[in-house]
């Protein structure tokens, strides 16, 4: 299976303009910052690279560049992509996230940012984080992940500004704030 996380036909500006035109906060978005890291499932425990777990078939199946929505559904694509991105398979996460019907969701743009950051595509990651925040300024998880990326780039002040935005929008008692604060104190930037 060939994994191509970046479509050749789309430029960053084209994607940005298209998605900025959509200003929607979709059902299922988690702006509260309470969404913690996913737990490993059969996809990351049993399945090889290029495979995902199919609950209906109770086995690993080949992941495809299209058609996975019919097998996993949008929520299944989202959950599986989150897991893949967290557990070292970001290119595959990008492929699944692109298949979600609601690309205008802040949660999808946030995880596209996360997966691209983990794949080493920082410029594209920041674009997706900015789109998530433009769609939902209160999406503090996107702000936290963006702050992690900014720290990786050595932009401490910009990361701290995102921490203050999270605090203003959701307080300090949430996963998004806690993880970015920890990173700003010298902790890991691995989520």
> Higher-confidence residue: 32 or 83?
83
16, pLDDT greater than 60 = no
Structure tokens at 133: 């925040």
* Closest-CA residue to 147 (of 108, 106, 119, 175): 175
pLDDT (tens digit per residue) in 120-175: 999 999 999 999 999 999 999 999 999 999 999 999 999 999 999 999 999 999 99
**Parts of the chain belonging to CATH 1.25.40.10:** 103-191
> Higher-confidence residue: 103 or 34?
103
Give me the helix-helix angle, 90-97 and 69-86, nearest 10°: 150
Q: What are phi and psi of 44, to 5 degrees?
A: -100, -10
- The pLDDT, as a whole number, for residue 188 is 87
Please tell me the CATH superfamily of domain 103-191, with its number: Tetratricopeptide repeat domain (1.25.40.10)
- The pLDDT, as a whole number, for residue 172 is 96
pTM for the model stands at 0.83
19, pLDDT greater than 70 = no
CA angle 142–146–147, rounded 5-degree value:
120
pLDDT (tens digit per residue) in 30-70: 444 447 788 999 999 999 999 999 999 999 999 999 999 99
């Amino acid at each position: 299976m060939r994994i191509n996380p970046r479509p050749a036909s789309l430029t960053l500006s084209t994607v940005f303009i298209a998605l900025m035109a959509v200003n929607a906060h979709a059902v299922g978005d988690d702006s509260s910052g309470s969404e913690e890291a996913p737990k490993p499932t059969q996809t990351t425990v049993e399945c090889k690279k290029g495979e995902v777990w199919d609950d209906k078939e109770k086995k690993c199946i080949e992941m495809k560049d299209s058609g996975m929505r019919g097998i996993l559904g949008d929520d299944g694509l989202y959950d599986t992509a989150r897991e893949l991105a967290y557990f070292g398979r970001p290119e595959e996460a990008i492929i699944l996230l692109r298949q979600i019907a609601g690309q205008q969701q802040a949660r999808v743009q946030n995880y596209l940012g996360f997966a691209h950051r983990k794949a080493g595509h920082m410029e594209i990651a920041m674009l997706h984080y900015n789109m998530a925040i433009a769609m939902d300024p209160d999406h503090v998880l996107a702000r936290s992940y963006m702050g992690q990326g900014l720290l990786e780039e050595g932009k401490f002040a910009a990361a701290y500004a995102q921490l203050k935005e999270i605090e203003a929008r959701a307080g300090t008692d949430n996963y998004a704030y806690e993880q970015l604060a920890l990173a700003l104190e010298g902790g890991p930037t691995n989520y």
